[in-house]
Chains A and B, each alone.
Chain A
Protein backbone atom coordinates (compact mmCIF):
# COMPACT_ATOMS: atom_id res chain seq x y z
CA UNK A 1 0.00 0.00 0.00
CA UNK A 2 1.47 3.37 -1.00
CA UNK A 3 0.61 6.32 1.15
CA UNK A 4 1.06 9.97 0.31
CA UNK A 5 4.21 11.06 2.23
CA UNK A 6 3.32 13.15 5.27
CA UNK A 7 6.35 15.35 4.88
CA UNK A 8 8.74 16.49 2.18
CA UNK A 9 12.54 16.30 2.15
CA UNK A 10 13.05 19.92 3.23
CA UNK A 11 10.82 19.40 6.25
CA UNK A 12 12.81 16.30 7.19
CA UNK A 13 16.12 18.18 6.85
CA UNK A 14 14.79 21.08 8.93
CA UNK A 15 13.80 18.68 11.73
CA UNK A 16 17.13 16.83 11.61
CA UNK A 17 19.05 20.13 11.71
CA UNK A 18 16.90 21.51 14.53
CA UNK A 19 17.62 18.35 16.53
CA UNK A 20 21.34 19.17 16.56
CA UNK A 21 20.80 22.48 18.37
CA UNK A 22 20.75 22.27 22.15
CA UNK A 23 18.85 24.55 24.49
CA UNK A 24 21.06 27.25 25.96
CA UNK A 25 23.51 27.26 23.05
CA UNK A 26 24.23 30.03 20.59
CA UNK A 27 23.93 29.57 16.83
CA UNK A 28 24.84 31.73 13.86
CA UNK A 29 22.19 31.19 11.20
CA UNK A 30 21.71 32.31 7.63
CA UNK A 31 18.54 32.62 5.60
CA UNK A 32 16.75 29.63 4.13
CA UNK A 33 16.87 26.23 5.78
CA UNK A 34 19.27 27.23 8.63
CA UNK A 35 16.90 29.86 10.04
CA UNK A 36 13.93 27.52 9.61
CA UNK A 37 15.84 24.92 11.68
CA UNK A 38 16.80 27.51 14.30
CA UNK A 39 13.22 28.76 14.60
CA UNK A 40 11.91 25.20 14.86
CA UNK A 41 14.42 24.34 17.61
CA UNK A 42 13.48 27.49 19.50
CA UNK A 43 9.77 26.63 19.28
CA UNK A 44 10.26 23.02 20.41
CA UNK A 45 13.08 21.60 22.55
CA UNK A 46 15.38 24.67 22.69
CA UNK A 47 13.39 27.77 23.78
CA UNK A 48 16.63 29.22 25.15
CA UNK A 49 18.51 28.93 21.85
CA UNK A 50 20.43 32.16 21.24
CA UNK A 51 20.01 32.89 17.52
CA UNK A 52 22.55 35.28 16.00
CA UNK A 53 22.50 36.84 12.54
CA UNK A 54 25.56 38.09 10.71
CA UNK A 55 24.22 41.62 10.14
CA UNK A 56 23.68 42.18 13.87
CA UNK A 57 20.45 40.49 15.04
CA UNK A 58 21.07 38.96 18.50
CA UNK A 59 18.58 36.73 20.31
CA UNK A 60 15.46 37.35 18.21
CA UNK A 61 12.15 35.54 18.39
CA UNK A 62 11.69 35.51 14.66
CA UNK A 63 7.95 35.78 13.87
CA UNK A 64 7.94 34.56 10.26
CA UNK A 65 10.66 33.48 7.89
CA UNK A 66 13.06 36.36 7.06
CA UNK A 67 14.05 36.75 3.41
CA UNK A 68 17.44 38.37 4.09
CA UNK A 69 20.13 38.08 6.76
CA UNK A 70 19.58 41.71 7.79
CA UNK A 71 15.77 41.64 7.43
CA UNK A 72 13.90 43.37 10.29
CA UNK A 73 12.51 39.92 11.22
CA UNK A 74 16.07 38.93 12.24
CA UNK A 75 15.91 41.18 15.31
CA UNK A 76 12.20 40.93 16.11
CA UNK A 77 11.79 40.82 19.91
CA UNK A 78 15.58 40.47 20.07
CA UNK A 79 17.97 41.25 22.88
CA UNK A 80 19.99 43.47 20.57
CA UNK A 81 20.08 44.88 17.05
CA UNK A 82 23.78 45.40 16.72
CA UNK A 83 26.42 45.33 13.99
CA UNK A 84 28.41 42.86 11.96
CA UNK A 85 31.58 43.90 13.77
CA UNK A 86 29.89 43.09 17.08
CA UNK A 87 28.62 39.62 16.20
CA UNK A 88 31.63 38.59 14.14
CA UNK A 89 33.88 39.68 17.00
CA UNK A 90 31.71 37.68 19.42
CA UNK A 91 32.23 34.59 17.28
CA UNK A 92 35.98 35.27 17.00
CA UNK A 93 36.08 35.60 20.81
CA UNK A 94 34.42 32.20 21.30
CA UNK A 95 30.80 33.06 22.13
CA UNK A 96 29.19 31.24 19.21
CA UNK A 97 28.70 27.49 19.53
CA UNK A 98 27.17 26.57 16.19
CA UNK A 99 27.35 27.99 12.71
CA UNK A 100 24.95 26.87 10.00
CA UNK A 101 26.09 26.98 6.38
CA UNK A 102 25.24 25.72 2.92
CA UNK A 103 27.70 24.98 0.17
CA UNK A 104 27.95 24.28 -3.55
CA UNK A 105 30.64 21.60 -3.21
CA UNK A 106 32.52 19.85 -0.40
CA UNK A 107 35.57 17.58 -0.13
CA UNK A 108 36.23 14.73 2.31
CA UNK A 109 37.63 17.11 4.97
CA UNK A 110 34.55 19.30 4.92
CA UNK A 111 36.17 22.16 2.99
CA UNK A 112 33.57 24.05 1.00
CA UNK A 113 33.45 26.01 -2.25
CA UNK A 114 30.90 28.79 -2.75
CA UNK A 115 33.06 30.99 -5.00
CA UNK A 116 33.69 29.64 -8.46
CA UNK A 117 33.36 26.54 -10.64
CA UNK A 118 36.32 26.27 -13.01
CA UNK A 119 39.33 28.57 -13.11
CA UNK A 120 39.08 31.63 -10.85
CA UNK A 121 40.23 34.09 -13.53
CA UNK A 122 37.96 32.62 -16.22
CA UNK A 123 35.07 31.10 -14.31
CA UNK A 124 32.74 28.57 -15.85
CA UNK A 125 30.20 29.45 -13.20
CA UNK A 126 30.61 32.37 -10.85
CA UNK A 127 29.01 31.86 -7.43
CA UNK A 128 28.47 34.60 -4.81
CA UNK A 129 31.71 34.03 -2.85
CA UNK A 130 32.22 33.83 0.88
CA UNK A 131 29.79 36.36 2.26
CA UNK A 132 29.95 35.59 5.95
CA UNK A 133 30.42 31.87 5.24
CA UNK A 134 34.18 31.80 5.69
CA UNK A 135 33.94 33.77 8.94
CA UNK A 136 31.28 31.46 10.35
CA UNK A 137 33.20 28.32 9.33
CA UNK A 138 36.45 29.78 10.70
CA UNK A 139 35.25 31.26 13.98
CA UNK A 140 32.27 29.29 15.39
CA UNK A 141 33.07 26.26 17.54
CA UNK A 142 31.08 23.81 15.45
CA UNK A 143 29.92 24.23 11.87
CA UNK A 144 26.90 22.38 10.53
CA UNK A 145 26.46 22.11 6.77
CA UNK A 146 23.16 21.70 5.00
CA UNK A 147 23.58 20.45 1.44
CA UNK A 148 20.40 19.37 -0.27
CA UNK A 149 22.06 17.88 -3.32
CA UNK A 150 24.69 15.33 -2.48
CA UNK A 151 26.08 13.85 -5.71
CA UNK A 152 29.41 13.07 -7.35
CA UNK A 153 29.36 16.69 -8.54
CA UNK A 154 29.02 18.16 -5.03
CA UNK A 155 30.97 15.61 -2.93
CA UNK A 156 34.24 15.88 -4.85
CA UNK A 157 37.88 14.82 -4.55
CA UNK A 158 39.26 18.25 -5.31
CA UNK A 159 37.59 21.64 -4.97
CA UNK A 160 38.18 24.36 -7.56
CA UNK A 161 38.33 26.87 -4.70
CA UNK A 162 38.31 26.53 -0.90
CA UNK A 163 36.00 29.28 0.32
CA UNK A 164 35.28 28.02 3.82
CA UNK A 165 37.74 25.90 5.76
CA UNK A 166 36.80 22.43 6.89
CA UNK A 167 39.67 20.41 8.33
CA UNK A 168 41.79 21.67 5.35
CA UNK A 169 44.31 18.84 4.68
CA UNK A 170 43.55 16.74 7.77
CA UNK A 171 44.29 16.51 11.50
CA UNK A 172 45.89 19.62 12.99
CA UNK A 173 45.77 21.58 9.72
CA UNK A 174 43.29 24.20 10.98
CA UNK A 175 45.46 25.01 13.97
CA UNK A 176 48.61 25.08 11.83
CA UNK A 177 46.92 27.60 9.54
CA UNK A 178 46.15 29.79 12.56
CA UNK A 179 42.40 29.13 12.80
CA UNK A 180 40.97 29.10 16.34
CA UNK A 181 41.87 25.83 18.09
CA UNK A 182 39.19 23.19 18.56
CA UNK A 183 36.88 24.52 15.84
CA UNK A 184 35.70 22.84 12.63
CA UNK A 185 32.89 21.09 10.81
CA UNK A 186 30.63 19.12 13.14
CA UNK A 187 27.86 17.63 11.02
CA UNK A 188 26.90 17.57 7.35
CA UNK A 189 23.26 17.03 6.54
CA UNK A 190 22.32 16.03 2.99
CA UNK A 191 19.22 14.58 1.34
CA UNK A 192 20.63 11.11 2.10
CA UNK A 193 21.81 11.28 5.69
CA UNK A 194 23.92 12.93 8.36
CA UNK A 195 27.72 12.77 8.53
CA UNK A 196 30.30 13.60 11.16
CA UNK A 197 34.08 13.68 10.96
CA UNK A 198 36.34 10.92 12.18
CA UNK A 199 38.32 12.07 15.21
CA UNK A 200 41.61 10.59 13.97
CA UNK A 201 41.45 11.26 10.22
CA UNK A 202 39.09 14.29 10.12
CA UNK A 203 37.43 12.65 7.11
CA UNK A 204 33.70 12.50 6.45
CA UNK A 205 32.01 9.59 8.17
CA UNK A 206 28.41 8.39 7.80
CA UNK A 207 26.46 8.75 11.03
CA UNK A 208 22.75 8.56 10.22
CA UNK A 209 20.68 7.58 7.19
CA UNK A 210 17.36 9.21 6.39
CA UNK A 211 14.37 6.86 6.23
CA UNK A 212 14.48 4.62 3.16
CA UNK A 213 18.07 5.50 2.17
CA UNK A 214 20.77 2.82 1.86
CA UNK A 215 24.50 3.04 2.57
CA UNK A 216 25.13 2.15 -1.05
CA UNK A 217 23.24 5.24 -2.23
CA UNK A 218 25.42 7.34 0.07
CA UNK A 219 28.63 5.98 -1.46
CA UNK A 220 27.33 6.26 -5.03
CA UNK A 221 26.58 9.93 -4.48
CA UNK A 222 30.18 10.82 -3.66
CA UNK A 223 33.40 11.06 -5.67
CA UNK A 224 35.46 10.33 -2.51
CA UNK A 225 35.14 7.30 -0.29
CA UNK A 226 32.90 7.76 2.72
CA UNK A 227 33.55 5.62 5.78
CA UNK A 228 30.43 3.61 6.50
CA UNK A 229 30.17 1.91 9.90
CA UNK A 230 28.41 -1.48 10.32
CA UNK A 231 25.54 -0.04 12.27
CA UNK A 232 23.99 3.23 11.20
CA UNK A 233 21.08 4.96 12.92
CA UNK A 234 18.03 6.21 11.02
CA UNK A 235 16.73 9.80 11.27
CA UNK A 236 13.44 10.09 13.12
CA UNK A 237 10.57 11.17 10.90
CA UNK A 238 9.12 14.62 11.58
CA UNK A 239 6.33 14.62 14.14
CA UNK A 240 2.89 16.08 13.47
CA UNK A 241 3.74 18.88 15.91
CA UNK A 242 7.02 19.70 14.14
CA UNK A 243 5.24 19.81 10.78
CA UNK A 244 2.55 22.11 12.18
CA UNK A 245 5.22 24.51 13.49
CA UNK A 246 7.15 24.42 10.22
CA UNK A 247 4.07 25.50 8.31
CA UNK A 248 3.54 28.28 10.84
CA UNK A 249 7.15 29.46 10.37
CA UNK A 250 6.97 29.42 6.58
CA UNK A 251 3.29 29.71 5.66
CA UNK A 252 4.05 30.52 2.01
CA UNK A 253 6.43 27.59 1.60
CA UNK A 254 9.32 29.82 0.49
CA UNK A 255 11.79 27.32 1.94
CA UNK A 256 9.88 24.27 3.08
CA UNK A 257 7.85 24.20 -0.13
CA UNK A 258 11.01 23.42 -2.08
Chain B
Protein backbone atom coordinates (compact mmCIF):
# COMPACT_ATOMS: atom_id res chain seq x y z
CA UNK B 1 0.00 0.00 0.00
CA UNK B 2 0.92 3.63 -0.39
CA UNK B 3 2.18 6.08 2.18
CA UNK B 4 -0.58 7.11 4.55
CA UNK B 5 -2.55 9.96 3.02
CA UNK B 6 -4.00 12.84 4.96
CA UNK B 7 -7.43 13.62 3.57
CA UNK B 8 -8.57 17.23 3.75
CA UNK B 9 -11.54 17.46 1.39
CA UNK B 10 -14.90 18.27 2.92
CA UNK B 11 -17.60 15.62 2.56
CA UNK B 12 -20.38 17.32 0.60
CA UNK B 13 -23.90 15.94 0.09
CA UNK B 14 -23.44 12.68 1.93
CA UNK B 15 -26.21 10.89 3.82
CA UNK B 16 -26.30 7.57 5.58
CA UNK B 17 -28.09 5.30 3.06
CA UNK B 18 -30.78 4.36 5.60
CA UNK B 19 -31.39 7.99 6.44
CA UNK B 20 -31.81 8.75 2.75
CA UNK B 21 -34.17 5.80 2.23
CA UNK B 22 -36.34 7.16 5.05
CA UNK B 23 -36.22 10.63 3.55
CA UNK B 24 -37.29 9.28 0.17
CA UNK B 25 -40.12 7.26 1.71
CA UNK B 26 -41.49 10.29 3.52
CA UNK B 27 -40.87 13.03 0.96
CA UNK B 28 -41.03 11.69 -2.59
CA UNK B 29 -44.55 11.18 -3.91
CA UNK B 30 -45.29 8.11 -6.06
CA UNK B 31 -48.44 9.77 -7.36
CA UNK B 32 -48.74 10.51 -11.05
CA UNK B 33 -49.49 14.15 -10.24
CA UNK B 34 -49.45 17.26 -12.40
CA UNK B 35 -46.23 19.05 -11.42
CA UNK B 36 -46.47 22.06 -13.73
CA UNK B 37 -45.53 25.32 -12.06
CA UNK B 38 -43.55 28.48 -12.79
CA UNK B 39 -39.79 28.99 -12.74
CA UNK B 40 -40.14 31.54 -9.93
CA UNK B 41 -42.31 29.27 -7.78
CA UNK B 42 -40.11 26.19 -8.28
CA UNK B 43 -36.95 28.04 -7.28
CA UNK B 44 -38.70 29.67 -4.32
CA UNK B 45 -40.01 26.34 -3.08
CA UNK B 46 -37.11 23.97 -3.70
CA UNK B 47 -33.92 26.05 -3.44
CA UNK B 48 -33.61 27.67 -0.01
CA UNK B 49 -30.46 29.66 0.76
CA UNK B 50 -27.60 27.36 1.74
CA UNK B 51 -28.71 24.48 -0.53
CA UNK B 52 -26.36 22.05 -2.24
CA UNK B 53 -27.19 22.52 -5.92
CA UNK B 54 -26.21 20.39 -8.91
CA UNK B 55 -26.88 21.28 -12.53
CA UNK B 56 -27.67 18.90 -15.38
CA UNK B 57 -26.12 19.05 -18.83
CA UNK B 58 -22.41 19.31 -19.45
CA UNK B 59 -20.34 22.48 -19.54
CA UNK B 60 -22.08 24.61 -22.13
CA UNK B 61 -24.50 21.83 -23.10
CA UNK B 62 -28.18 21.76 -22.10
CA UNK B 63 -27.70 24.04 -19.11
CA UNK B 64 -31.03 25.07 -17.49
CA UNK B 65 -30.31 28.78 -17.86
CA UNK B 66 -33.84 30.03 -17.09
CA UNK B 67 -33.48 28.38 -13.66
CA UNK B 68 -29.94 29.69 -13.22
CA UNK B 69 -31.00 33.27 -13.99
CA UNK B 70 -33.93 32.86 -11.59
CA UNK B 71 -31.57 31.93 -8.74
CA UNK B 72 -29.79 35.22 -9.42
CA UNK B 73 -33.09 37.13 -9.71
CA UNK B 74 -34.31 35.81 -6.34
CA UNK B 75 -30.91 36.72 -4.86
CA UNK B 76 -30.31 33.24 -3.47
CA UNK B 77 -27.29 33.19 -1.16
CA UNK B 78 -24.77 30.82 0.35
CA UNK B 79 -25.30 28.01 -2.16
CA UNK B 80 -22.80 25.19 -2.44
CA UNK B 81 -22.55 24.12 -6.07
CA UNK B 82 -21.38 20.83 -7.48
CA UNK B 83 -19.12 21.59 -10.47
CA UNK B 84 -19.28 18.33 -12.37
CA UNK B 85 -18.28 20.17 -14.57
CA UNK B 86 -19.46 23.71 -13.87
CA UNK B 87 -18.96 26.13 -16.72
CA UNK B 88 -21.48 28.80 -17.73
CA UNK B 89 -23.86 27.86 -14.89
CA UNK B 90 -21.35 28.27 -12.08
CA UNK B 91 -19.90 31.40 -13.64
CA UNK B 92 -23.30 33.13 -13.71
CA UNK B 93 -24.15 31.96 -10.19
CA UNK B 94 -20.81 33.15 -8.79
CA UNK B 95 -21.15 36.45 -10.66
CA UNK B 96 -24.68 36.80 -9.29
CA UNK B 97 -23.37 36.46 -5.73
CA UNK B 98 -25.33 33.25 -5.04
CA UNK B 99 -22.42 30.96 -4.24
CA UNK B 100 -20.18 30.64 -1.22
CA UNK B 101 -18.72 27.17 -1.84
CA UNK B 102 -17.91 25.00 -4.83
CA UNK B 103 -16.98 21.33 -4.99
CA UNK B 104 -14.80 21.08 -8.07
CA UNK B 105 -14.32 18.54 -10.81
CA UNK B 106 -14.03 21.38 -13.35
CA UNK B 107 -14.79 25.06 -12.78
CA UNK B 108 -13.47 28.57 -13.47
CA UNK B 109 -12.97 27.80 -17.16
CA UNK B 110 -14.92 27.92 -20.42
CA UNK B 111 -13.13 25.15 -22.36
CA UNK B 112 -11.91 26.54 -25.71
CA UNK B 113 -13.22 29.98 -24.85
CA UNK B 114 -10.62 30.47 -22.10
CA UNK B 115 -10.61 30.87 -18.34
CA UNK B 116 -13.46 32.51 -16.45
CA UNK B 117 -12.58 36.00 -15.20
CA UNK B 118 -15.47 36.10 -12.75
CA UNK B 119 -15.00 32.64 -11.20
CA UNK B 120 -11.26 33.07 -10.84
CA UNK B 121 -11.63 36.49 -9.24
CA UNK B 122 -14.01 34.99 -6.67
CA UNK B 123 -11.86 32.01 -5.77
CA UNK B 124 -8.53 33.83 -5.79
CA UNK B 125 -9.92 36.56 -3.50
CA UNK B 126 -11.46 34.01 -1.13
CA UNK B 127 -15.06 35.14 -1.82
CA UNK B 128 -15.82 31.58 -2.92
CA UNK B 129 -14.30 28.61 -1.10
CA UNK B 130 -13.32 25.37 -2.82
CA UNK B 131 -14.52 22.54 -0.56
CA UNK B 132 -12.65 19.82 -2.44
CA UNK B 133 -11.31 18.41 -5.69
CA UNK B 134 -12.48 15.42 -7.68
CA UNK B 135 -12.53 14.27 -11.33
CA UNK B 136 -15.54 14.33 -13.66
CA UNK B 137 -15.89 10.55 -13.59
CA UNK B 138 -15.36 10.64 -9.83
CA UNK B 139 -18.34 12.96 -9.36
CA UNK B 140 -20.55 11.03 -11.70
CA UNK B 141 -19.71 7.85 -9.78
CA UNK B 142 -20.60 9.64 -6.53
CA UNK B 143 -24.02 10.21 -8.11
CA UNK B 144 -24.14 6.59 -9.28
CA UNK B 145 -23.57 5.38 -5.71
CA UNK B 146 -26.39 7.65 -4.48
CA UNK B 147 -28.65 6.51 -7.34
CA UNK B 148 -28.01 2.90 -6.35
CA UNK B 149 -28.56 3.59 -2.66
CA UNK B 150 -25.09 2.31 -1.74
CA UNK B 151 -22.65 4.27 0.45
CA UNK B 152 -19.75 4.50 -2.03
CA UNK B 153 -18.44 3.41 -5.40
CA UNK B 154 -15.00 1.85 -5.97
CA UNK B 155 -13.10 3.58 -8.81
CA UNK B 156 -9.62 3.33 -10.31
CA UNK B 157 -8.97 6.97 -11.14
CA UNK B 158 -7.54 9.75 -8.92
CA UNK B 159 -5.18 7.26 -7.22
CA UNK B 160 -1.68 8.52 -6.46
CA UNK B 161 -2.50 12.22 -7.06
CA UNK B 162 -3.04 15.37 -5.00
CA UNK B 163 -6.76 15.18 -5.85
CA UNK B 164 -7.21 12.32 -3.40
CA UNK B 165 -5.73 14.40 -0.59
CA UNK B 166 -8.11 17.26 -1.31
CA UNK B 167 -11.19 15.12 -1.84
CA UNK B 168 -13.64 13.21 0.31
CA UNK B 169 -12.52 9.93 -1.29
CA UNK B 170 -10.66 7.20 0.59
CA UNK B 171 -8.20 4.54 -0.49
CA UNK B 172 -8.53 0.99 0.82
CA UNK B 173 -7.21 -2.41 -0.19
CA UNK B 174 -9.48 -4.35 -2.52
CA UNK B 175 -10.29 -7.50 -0.51
CA UNK B 176 -10.04 -9.70 -3.63
CA UNK B 177 -7.08 -8.42 -5.68
CA UNK B 178 -5.22 -6.86 -2.75
CA UNK B 179 -4.65 -3.73 -4.86
CA UNK B 180 -5.38 -0.22 -3.59
CA UNK B 181 -8.78 1.06 -4.71
CA UNK B 182 -10.35 4.51 -4.42
CA UNK B 183 -13.79 4.78 -2.81
CA UNK B 184 -15.91 7.81 -3.67
CA UNK B 185 -18.75 8.52 -1.24
CA UNK B 186 -22.36 8.77 -2.46
CA UNK B 187 -23.46 12.36 -3.10
CA UNK B 188 -27.11 13.39 -2.77
CA UNK B 189 -27.48 17.04 -3.84
CA UNK B 190 -30.38 18.84 -2.15
CA UNK B 191 -31.68 19.86 -5.56
CA UNK B 192 -30.74 19.28 -9.20
CA UNK B 193 -31.78 21.52 -12.09
CA UNK B 194 -32.33 20.16 -15.59
CA UNK B 195 -33.37 21.38 -19.01
CA UNK B 196 -34.74 18.63 -21.27
CA UNK B 197 -36.12 18.38 -24.77
CA UNK B 198 -39.57 17.21 -23.75
CA UNK B 199 -41.50 15.81 -20.80
CA UNK B 200 -45.11 15.30 -19.75
CA UNK B 201 -46.91 17.17 -16.97
CA UNK B 202 -45.83 14.50 -14.49
CA UNK B 203 -42.13 14.89 -15.25
CA UNK B 204 -41.41 11.84 -17.43
CA UNK B 205 -38.56 13.32 -19.44
CA UNK B 206 -36.84 12.58 -22.74
CA UNK B 207 -33.37 13.88 -23.60
CA UNK B 208 -31.90 13.86 -27.11
CA UNK B 209 -28.15 13.53 -27.66
CA UNK B 210 -25.56 12.67 -25.03
CA UNK B 211 -26.63 12.27 -21.42
CA UNK B 212 -23.33 13.20 -19.74
CA UNK B 213 -24.12 12.32 -16.09
CA UNK B 214 -27.80 13.25 -16.07
CA UNK B 215 -29.09 9.69 -15.67
CA UNK B 216 -27.15 9.29 -12.42
CA UNK B 217 -27.64 12.85 -11.13
CA UNK B 218 -31.42 12.70 -11.61
CA UNK B 219 -31.53 9.62 -9.39
CA UNK B 220 -29.12 11.02 -6.79
CA UNK B 221 -30.60 14.44 -6.04
CA UNK B 222 -33.36 14.74 -3.47
CA UNK B 223 -35.34 17.37 -5.41
CA UNK B 224 -35.57 17.80 -9.19
CA UNK B 225 -36.68 20.88 -11.09
CA UNK B 226 -37.09 20.32 -14.81
CA UNK B 227 -37.54 22.95 -17.47
CA UNK B 228 -38.44 21.61 -20.88
CA UNK B 229 -38.49 22.87 -24.46
CA UNK B 230 -41.95 21.35 -24.75
CA UNK B 231 -44.55 19.65 -22.56
CA UNK B 232 -45.99 16.65 -24.36
CA UNK B 233 -48.98 14.39 -23.66
CA UNK B 234 -48.53 11.47 -21.30
CA UNK B 235 -49.73 9.25 -24.18
CA UNK B 236 -46.68 10.33 -26.21
CA UNK B 237 -44.47 9.14 -23.35
CA UNK B 238 -46.39 5.86 -23.14
CA UNK B 239 -46.03 5.28 -26.87
CA UNK B 240 -42.22 5.15 -26.52
CA UNK B 241 -41.53 4.53 -22.82
CA UNK B 242 -37.99 3.37 -23.61
CA UNK B 243 -37.17 7.01 -24.39
CA UNK B 244 -37.81 8.10 -20.78
CA UNK B 245 -34.48 9.02 -19.17
CA UNK B 246 -35.98 10.54 -16.02
CA UNK B 247 -39.17 8.89 -14.68
CA UNK B 248 -41.86 11.03 -13.01
CA UNK B 249 -41.39 9.93 -9.38
CA UNK B 250 -37.96 11.61 -9.31
CA UNK B 251 -39.37 14.96 -10.45
CA UNK B 252 -40.78 17.71 -8.23
CA UNK B 253 -41.46 20.57 -10.65
CA UNK B 254 -42.03 20.90 -14.41
CA UNK B 255 -41.94 24.16 -16.37
CA UNK B 256 -42.19 24.65 -20.12
CA UNK B 257 -39.44 27.08 -21.18
CA UNK B 258 -38.68 27.12 -24.91
CA UNK B 259 -35.02 28.03 -25.55
CA UNK B 260 -34.47 27.57 -21.80
CA UNK B 261 -30.83 26.61 -22.35
CA UNK B 262 -29.83 29.88 -24.06
CA UNK B 263 -26.97 30.86 -24.47
CA UNK B 264 -25.77 27.26 -24.07
CA UNK B 265 -26.38 24.49 -26.59
CA UNK B 266 -29.57 22.43 -26.64
CA UNK B 267 -28.38 19.12 -28.09
CA UNK B 268 -29.41 18.72 -31.75
CA UNK B 269 -31.95 21.59 -31.40
CA UNK B 270 -30.00 24.86 -31.24
CA UNK B 271 -26.33 25.79 -31.02
CA UNK B 272 -24.38 27.97 -28.57
CA UNK B 273 -24.95 31.71 -28.78
CA UNK B 274 -21.25 32.47 -29.09
CA UNK B 275 -21.98 36.18 -29.39
CA UNK B 276 -23.70 36.26 -26.01
CA UNK B 277 -21.15 34.00 -24.28
CA UNK B 278 -18.35 36.22 -25.59
CA UNK B 279 -20.24 39.28 -24.32
CA UNK B 280 -20.49 37.74 -20.83
CA UNK B 281 -16.80 36.80 -20.82
CA UNK B 282 -15.94 40.37 -21.78
CA UNK B 283 -18.13 42.27 -19.32
CA UNK B 284 -17.43 39.88 -16.42
CA UNK B 285 -13.77 40.93 -16.48
CA UNK B 286 -14.70 43.63 -13.96
CA UNK B 287 -17.06 43.54 -10.95
CA UNK B 288 -18.82 46.63 -12.35
CA UNK B 289 -19.37 44.97 -15.73
CA UNK B 290 -20.71 41.87 -13.99
CA UNK B 291 -23.25 43.87 -11.97
CA UNK B 292 -24.31 45.74 -15.10
CA UNK B 293 -24.83 42.45 -16.97
CA UNK B 294 -27.26 41.23 -14.32
CA UNK B 295 -29.09 44.57 -14.20
CA UNK B 296 -29.49 44.40 -17.96
CA UNK B 297 -30.27 40.72 -18.58
CA UNK B 298 -31.81 39.50 -15.30
CA UNK B 299 -33.16 42.22 -12.98
CA UNK B 300 -34.20 44.39 -15.90
CA UNK B 301 -36.22 41.58 -17.48
CA UNK B 302 -39.71 40.70 -16.23
CA UNK B 303 -39.37 37.13 -17.51
CA UNK B 304 -37.33 34.73 -19.66
CA UNK B 305 -39.32 35.60 -22.82
CA UNK B 306 -38.24 39.23 -22.47
CA UNK B 307 -34.66 38.06 -22.04
CA UNK B 308 -34.90 36.05 -25.28
CA UNK B 309 -36.27 39.16 -27.05
CA UNK B 310 -33.37 41.19 -25.72
CA UNK B 311 -30.68 38.76 -26.87
CA UNK B 312 -31.98 38.86 -30.43
CA UNK B 313 -35.44 37.32 -30.46
CA UNK B 314 -36.76 35.07 -33.17
CA UNK B 315 -34.11 36.09 -35.67
CA UNK B 316 -31.27 35.08 -33.35
CA UNK B 317 -32.97 31.87 -32.19
CA UNK B 318 -33.75 30.78 -35.75
CA UNK B 319 -30.12 31.38 -36.60
CA UNK B 320 -28.94 29.20 -33.69
CA UNK B 321 -31.22 26.40 -34.94
CA UNK B 322 -29.74 26.71 -38.43
CA UNK B 323 -26.17 26.62 -37.14
CA UNK B 324 -27.02 23.39 -35.30
CA UNK B 325 -28.24 21.87 -38.55
CA UNK B 326 -24.98 22.85 -40.28
CA UNK B 327 -26.94 25.16 -42.58
CA UNK B 328 -25.16 28.15 -44.01
CA UNK B 329 -25.42 31.42 -42.12
CA UNK B 330 -28.52 33.36 -43.01
CA UNK B 331 -27.46 36.33 -40.92
CA UNK B 332 -24.26 38.23 -40.46
CA UNK B 333 -23.83 37.01 -36.89
CA UNK B 334 -20.37 35.93 -35.75
CA UNK B 335 -21.59 32.67 -34.25
CA UNK B 336 -19.41 29.60 -33.92
CA UNK B 337 -18.85 26.67 -36.22
CA UNK B 338 -21.43 26.61 -38.97
Contacts and interface: CB of A to CB of B under 8 A. Distances in A.
B210 A163 contact: no
Interface residues of B, number: 69
Q: Per DSSP, are chain A's interface residues mostly helix, strand or loop, or mixed?
A: loop
A59 interface: no
Contact of A68 (B60, B136, B137): B60
A94 to B, nearest CB: 11
Contacts of A126: 108, 119-120, 123-124, 130
Contact of A138 (B58, B113, B144, B158): B158
Contacts of A56: 210-212
A174 B271 CA distance: 41
A91 B115 CA distance: 28
A65 interface: yes
A68 B138 CA distance: 20
A178 B182 contact: yes
Contacts of B163: 115, 130, 134, 162-163
A67 B337 contact: yes
B111 interface: yes
A236 to B, nearest CB: 27
Contacts of A57: 210
A178 B136 CA distance: 19
Given A115-B133, A165-B161, A82 B210 contact: yes
B160 interface: yes
Contacts of B161: 111, 134, 162-165
B316 interface: no
Interface in B160-182: 160-163, 166, 171, 174, 179-182
B304 interface: no
Most B CB atoms within 10 A — which of A68, A115, A125, A135?
Answer: A68
Interface stretch (B31-39, B99-107, B186-194, B291-299): B99-107
Interface in A25-82: 31-32, 53-57, 63-75, 81-82
A179 to B, nearest CB: 5
Contact of A123 (B62, B119, B124): B124
A138 B156 contact: yes
A171 interface: no
B265 interface: yes
Contacts of A219: none
Contacts of A178: 2, 156, 159-160, 171, 174, 179-182
A17 interface: no
A193 B112 CA distance: 24
Interface residues of A, number: 63
A90 B142 CA distance: 17
Contacts of B336: 67, 252, 254
A33 to B, nearest CB: 10
A135 B59 contact: no
A135 B104 CA distance: 14
Given A56-B212, A84-B136, A130 B160 contact: no
A161 interface: yes
A31 B324 CA distance: 18
B134 interface: yes
Given A67-B111, A72-B271, A84 B140 contact: yes
B272 interface: yes
Contacts of B238: none
B65 to A, nearest CB: 15
B14 interface: no
B99 to A, nearest CB: 14
A161 B162 contact: yes
Given A64-B337, A138-B157, A179-B160, A128 B107 contact: yes
A122 B130 CA distance: 10
Interface string A97-125: 00000000000000100010000101111
10 contacts: A56-B211, A64-B326, A70-B209, A70-B265, A81-B211, A85-B141, A128-B85, A130-B105, A130-B163, A163-B161
Given A128-B108, A165-B160, 20 more contacts: A55-B59, A67-B274, A67-B336, A69-B59, A84-B140, A84-B212, A85-B215, A88-B137, A92-B157, A126-B108, A126-B124, A129-B83, A129-B133, A133-B135, A135-B135, A135-B137, A165-B161, A176-B2, A178-B159, A178-B174
The 9 closest A-B CB pairs, nearest first, are A177-B160, A178-B180, A128-B109, A56-B210, A131-B106, A70-B58, A70-B61, A138-B157, A88-B137
Interface of A: 31-32, 53-57, 63-75, 81-85, 88, 92, 111, 115, 120, 122-135, 138-139, 161-165, 168, 173-180, 252, 254-255
